[in-house]
Chains A and B, each alone.
Chain A
Amino acid sequence: MNAALSQTLIAAEEVSKEFLIPQGMWRRLTGQPRLAVHALNGVSFQINRGETLGIVGESGCGKSTLARCLVRLFDCDDGRVRFEGQDIADLKGADRRAFNRRVQMIFQDPYSSLNPRMRVREILGEALSVHKMRPRAQIPARIAELLDLVRLPSDAADKFPHEFSGGQRQRIGIARALAVEPDVLVADELVSALDVSVQAQVVNLLLQLQEKLHLTVVFVAHDLRLVRHISHRVAVMYLGKIVEIGPTEGLFSSPRHPYTKALLDAAPELDPTKRNRTVAARGELPSPINLPTGCLFNTRCPRAFDRCFVERPLLSDRTPAHRAACHLTDFGAPSLQNLEAIS
């Protein structure tokens, strides 16, 4: 257990983040409460050195907000993110820059994430020289190395981002992140903007790079198959909370939270004999402005009972490796499939 703890690289502790909704003068003067979007409502998890944590959930569940909190593009309102035990909100000056260097982010949109007026050489060179990764004379050679690492031809250095395809641009984004030799890569919907045929290339590149460079990866995505393919562990998010977290195979084969089960059931299945037509989750994601009381999933859960409307379930501590936040599975932690067999 101690060995496992010392391996923890990033720990999120009850991270909460809300965004105030701009409101008019009238509402403010009449003293009406400010409305806020509750993007994250107490998210806790740990990421071990060298592992890939997949974070899945519907759009609007707070995945991207969480990713941005991890690299400190957002400061969390409540709770903290620790990097090697240190609260990242306390980092200043050189420490903060060192943290920025070691925890890098890759962005979702291959079009807006690269400065359209900078050549690839300038984009990579700037990262290298600001963080003093190499003496000035060695920078061109390092740029060539980085391009080779992400399998772009060396003449890519003198081109502008608009001369590349979406997949190539994501690789430039990866090269930029790798330029500063980080320990952690936070990939926010890395391939969701790409054609399916290109997705595999980019994801496999990420896997190879992770192995080669011993990276720790946080892979945020809504595509379950991708997450399953790439992650060691998976966290399922719903309305700004983790509802289930566990090893990939365990979570996919025996989900413990009704929402995870609903997500898995909703994923398209090629084999018609395996298709199931039961409705696992009704309706839409509730508004993150007015969160449901009790369990956040109670508005859509097919199995909700009285307790779910009163008490918000916590991530179960009974099974530390594979935890779910559900009253149904909290006691004795049988998987949902077993529960169904019983009922």
Chain B
Amino acid sequence: MTIVAANPAVRRRARISLPFTLVFGGVIIGLSTIVAFFPSLFAPYDPAAMDYNALLQAPTVAHPFGTDSFGRDVLTRVIHAYTVDMQIALFATLFPFVFGTIVGALVGYAGGWANALFGRVVDAIITFPFLVLVIAIVAVLGPGLVNMYVAVSVVGWVFYARLVATEVQVQKRLDYADSGRAMGYRPLRIIFRHLLPNAITPALVYWMTDMALAILLGSSLGYLGLGAQPPTAEWGVQIADGKNFMNTAWWISVFPGIAIVITGLGFSLVGDGLAELLRTKK
């Protein structure tokens, strides 16, 4: 017998040694989520409260991030924006991820004309620059967060579908897929239970990156007035608010910008860490 007795100590250590990037990114995203759910616990003021005695005030102890042109506390608004922006990160990507993954898995497995048709749909959608297409759809549907989610979903699923389809096409040619067929398993079982777990990693990693991109996109659309609407605290809206005061009150735009960068970094780190964690062992 040549069974290598697996040392339990080694196995246990292997199980808890998560990639550093995953832990670090996870902490950022975890804290961001907590802030998003309970912004009032962290914010010193009311996000809509205007203080006409403190307009465009530079950072002080009372207002660590300064105040904007209405005298609203920038720190408070950055904190309250977490609620909206984390929501954007999730809702603008969840449907594309789920739907794109399912379509990609089915199309990749079916191959043939289904794949050819899918290829043309992808071509048609990616011919347009992403932002331009989203703006066009929002322009038709009207501005606002929900319409923005719809617009992003209509376009975004193809990227996931393409990633998954490519990977499923590789996986379905491996012997374990044939073994499932020889066992008489139904195609849906083979696709979703056998192939997908081996094919989803790139899509999962892309999802994390995409959440970061969604925040940027949400901010861009907010900036253009097509996403979250002005009284709402949203990082893009805040940056747009501050653009007229860049020379005199840089803090209105810079702090929301930093929040975007940190959150985006968190998602990217989680993506990197997941890629490492889920890499198939050979």
Instruction: Name the distance in Å between A175's Cβ and chain B's nearest Cβ.
Output: 12
Q: Are A115 and B183 in contact, CB atoms less than 8 angstroms apart? A: no
Confirm or deny: B184 has a beta carbon within 8 angstroms of a beta carbon on chain A: yes
Q: Are B2 and A168 in contact, CB atoms less than 8 angstroms apart? A: yes
Q: Name which residue of chain A comes closest to B193, CB basis.
A: A126
Instruction: Name the distance in Å between A126's Cβ and chain B's nearest Cβ.
Output: 8
Q: Name which residue of chain B comes closest to A201, CB basis.
A: B2
Confirm or deny: B185 has a beta carbon within 8 angstroms of a beta carbon on chain A: yes
Q: Name which residue of chain A comes closest to B196, CB basis.
A: A117
Confirm or deny: A153 has a beta carbon within 8 angstroms of a beta carbon on chain B: yes
Q: Are A112 and B183 in contact, CB atoms less than 8 angstroms apart? A: no
Whether A115 touches B176, Cβ cut-off 8 Å, given contacts A96-B184, A130-B183, A130-B185, is yes
Q: Are B6 and A159 in contact, CB atoms less than 8 angstroms apart? A: yes
CA distance A100 to B184 in the complex (A): 5
Q: Name which residue of chain B comes closest to A115, CB basis.
A: B176
Confirm or deny: A160 has a beta carbon within 8 angstroms of a beta carbon on chain B: yes
Binds B, one of A102-110, A210-218, A274-282, A319-327: A102-110
Q: Name which residue of chain A comes closest to B6, CB basis.
A: A163
B176: chain A residues within 8 A (beta carbon): 112-116
Confirm or deny: A233 has a beta carbon within 8 angstroms of a beta carbon on chain B: no
Name which of B174, B179, B185, B193 has the most chain A CB atoms within 10 A of its CB. B179
CA distance A162 to B181 in the complex (A): 22
CA distance A173 to B179 in the complex (A): 9
Whether A167 touches B2, Cβ cut-off 8 Å, given contacts A113-B175, A113-B179, A115-B198, is yes
B44: chain A residues within 8 A (beta carbon): none
Q: Are B280 and A97 in contact, CB atoms less than 8 angstroms apart? A: no
CA distance A156 to B3 in the complex (A): 9
Q: Are A176 and B179 in contact, CB atoms less than 8 angstroms apart? A: yes
B280: chain A residues within 8 A (beta carbon): 116-117, 162
A167: chain B residues within 8 A (beta carbon): 2
Q: Are A117 and B197 in contact, CB atoms less than 8 angstroms apart? A: yes
Confirm or deny: B46 has a beta carbon within 8 angstroms of a beta carbon on chain A: no
Confirm or deny: B178 has a beta carbon within 8 angstroms of a beta carbon on chain A: yes
Confirm or deny: B182 has a beta carbon within 8 angstroms of a beta carbon on chain A: yes
| Chain A 312-332 interface 0/1 with B at a Cβ cutoff of 8 Å (1 = within) | 000000000000000000000
B178: chain A residues within 8 A (beta carbon): 68, 73, 105, 107, 113
| Chain A 157-182 interface 0/1 with B at a Cβ cutoff of 8 Å (1 = within) | 00110110101100001001000100
Instruction: Name the distance in Å between A37's Cβ and chain B's nearest Cβ.
Output: 17
Whether A168 touches B3, Cβ cut-off 8 Å, given contacts A115-B198, A116-B198, is yes
Please list 12 pairs of residues, one from A and one from B, whose beta carbons are closer than 8 Å in the complex, sorted by A's number.
A72-B182, A73-B182, A100-B184, A112-B176, A113-B175, A117-B280, A118-B194, A130-B189, A131-B184, A153-B3, A163-B6, A168-B2
Residues on A close to B: CB < 8 A? 68, 71-73, 96-97, 99-101, 104-105, 107-109, 111-118, 126-127, 130-131, 151-153, 155-156, 159-160, 162-163, 165, 167-168, 173, 176, 180, 198
